[in-house]
Structure 1
Amino acid sequence: MAGHSKWANIQHRKGRQDKARSKVFSKLSKEITIAAKLGGPDPDANPRLRLAVQNAKGQSMPKDNIERAINKGQGGDGEDYEEIRYEGFGPGGIGVIVEVSTDNRNRAAAEVRTAFSKNGGNMGETGSVAFMFDNVGEIRYDESVADEEAMLEAAIEAGAEDVIQESSLNDDDEEVGEHVIYCAREDLNEVMTALQAVYGEAKSAKIIWKPQTLTPVEGDKVPTVMKLMDVLDDLDDVQNVYANFDISDEDMANA
């Protein structure tokens, strides 16, 4: 989504790559552990684990880390994680969805609520924000694997609903393009498998909350929005943060 892509870029430009990567690995490991615990250690027989492992590989997570996370899920010594969705509003009235995996519901709720209240936002009731988003499948490929027309044709044939182009920053701080494919939530594995047969493994494939419309954020609200996103993402229990903000490149560069 637009907000998330820009947010990732500003984190990168602020020199937080190493910290961000460590955090990403931690979140990926937790998702692999949960998936293995719930559905077994075989990715071919466990669609959720297959997605988690593929996303870990897409982030260059070491094979040993992946195997440790799977073994933790199967060993019976991992935490009993509960998956919870929190919803709230940020500066400028933006909608925010926070997905949490936690072994302590009270701690997670308190930390998320505090993050909102100290950074210009407030928690909402369940359903107060989710109606502004669509829960869909998202698959990402580097633009180098195909031109726009070829990717669109392959994606639609595979059962996808839409393809857009986005840009992000790589580890060398270079802007690279990506094909972003959207599909119905229930079709993600089928679409991913069909595209993999043509273009190989995707950079990432997951279920996301995609904003139906974006809310413009300008001026002095921009740094506050970015701080809220940053604080939420840094919480240990938080797996994913989605928001429907739209910030200009100029304001983002100055944030």
Structure 2
Amino acid sequence: MAGHSKFKNIMHRKGAQDKKRAAQFSKLSREITVAAKMGMPDPDMNPRLRAAVNAAKAQSMPKDNIQRAIDKASRGDAENYEEIRYEGYGPGGVALIVEALTDNRNRTATNVRTAFAKNGGNLGASGAVSHGFERLGLIEYPGSVGDADKVFEAALEAGADDVESDEEAHAIWVAVENLHPVARELEKVLGEAEGVKLAWKPNLKTEVSAEDAATLLKLIDVLDDDDDVQTVWGNYEIPDAVMEKLG
């Protein structure tokens, strides 16, 4: 569940992440359970749960798994997860924000700190890098829903603030308070989104060298592999030529 650079960079990495299906389902189940515990267990009455369920469906998570996670929360026998944010710097001075859901704060902090230390980065204090990002809502669609003009027009009508498109995907940015209303309007035109979530959008991008890019992507992979880590956001921009060399 890596964060934002150029959208094609994300999609390139997403291919590798899809192989880790079991781990991905575990993270999705955790988010569904937390969302169901925090509000109504009905996705139609709980925007966060609806977004979590839609994200699970987009990853082809079986319906039984989704329902099991909701039922677990409804019965009250689900683990108590805490939402934690970590901030730090990766190779090349790239700013990273790591979002986690954990039932053991000490374990998660140790794992995240170790990942940074062993892969050319360093973990900072709370607020170390988030001042360089804007907290926004992000609605994601695959490129197959339509061309950039169609998505832009739909997003504009729905009340979105910005759209980033390429051949493979569309990223629609909205104010936090408008995330779910805009998502509902877009669903009428474009169908269910692949992702509806709160995100960290960098104010400025940092272009990464070939050498730093390899280490940075390794750091992000290590973080992604941690069961407690839900999302990694960054202000990195990796040139297409570098991505092609990294394969």
Counterparts of 1:16 and 1:151, CA distance in 2: 26
Residues 1-255 of structure 1: matches in 2 within 5 Å?
Answer: 1-2=4-5, 5-10=8-13, 12=15, 17-19=18-20, 21-167=21-167, 177-255=168-246
Per the normalisation by structure 2, the TM-score is 0.93
The residue type paired with residue 240 of structure 2 is: D
Report deviation, 1:146: 2.9
Segments of structure 2 that go 5 or more residues without pairing to the other structure are none
> Residue 43 of structure 1 aligns to which amino acid in structure 2?
P
Deviation at 1:151, TM superposition (A): 1.9
Contact 1:4 1:243 in 2 (8 A): no
Secondary structure at 2:44's aligned position in 1? coil
Q: Is the 8 A contact 1:217 1:245 kept in 2?
A: yes
Q: Distance in 2 between matches of 1:59 and 1:3?
A: 21
TM-score, normalising length from structure 1?
0.90
Distance 1:16 1:141, change over 3 A: closer
The Cα shift of 1:83 comes to: 0.4
Paired residues of 1:185 and 1:207 also in contact (CA < 8 A): yes
* C-alpha distance in structure 2 between counterparts of 1:16 and 1:143, whole Å: 19
- 1: CA distance between counterparts of 2:7 and 2:107? 25
Structure 1: state its 5+ residue gaps: 168-176
Q: Which 4+ stretches in 1 moved above 4 angstroms?
A: none
Q: CA deviation at 1:166?
A: 3.1
> Which residue identity does 1:208 align to in structure 2?
A
Moved more, 58-67 or 134-143: 134-143
Shift in alpha-carbon separation, 1:5–1:45, aligned structure 2, 3 A: same
RMSD of the TM alignment (CA)? 1.6
Distance 1:147 1:253 in 2: 24
Q: Distance in 1 between matches of 2:90 and 2:158?
A: 37
In the alignment, the residues of structure 2 paired with residue 113 and residue 247 of structure 1 have an alpha-carbon distance, to the nearest angstrom, of 24
In the alignment, the residues of structure 2 paired with residue 50 and residue 17 of structure 1 have an alpha-carbon distance, to the nearest angstrom, of: 22
Q: Distance in 1 between matches of 2:45 and 2:132?
A: 33
Report the equivalent of 1:171: none
1:71-115 deviation line (CA, Å, top 9, x unaligned): 111122211101000000011100000001000111111110111
- Return the alpha-carbon distance in structure 2 between the equivalents of residues 43 and 10 of structure 1: 29
CA distance in 2, matches of 1:16, 1:194: 30
Aligned in 2, Cα 1:5/1:76: closer, same or farther, shift over 3 Å?
farther
**Structure 1 residues 57-79: Cα deviation after superposition (integer angstroms, max 9, x where no partner):** 11111100100110111122211
Identity within the alignment, %: 52
Letter paired with 1:216: E
Q: How many residues align?
A: 243
Deviation at 1:123, TM superposition (A): 0.7
* Alpha-carbon distance, 1:11 to partner: 5.7
Q: Is the Cα–Cα contact under 8 Å of residues 166 and 180 in structure 1 kept in the other structure? A: no
Name the CA shift for 1:35/1:5 in 2 (closer, same or farther; >3 Å).
farther
Is the alpha carbon distance of 1:202 and 1:17 closer, same or farther for their aligned partners in structure 2, counting shifts above 3 Å? Answer: closer
CA distance in structure 1 between the aligned counterparts of 2:89 and 2:216, rounded to whole angstroms: 10
For 1:107 and 1:3, the matched residues in 2 are separated by 32
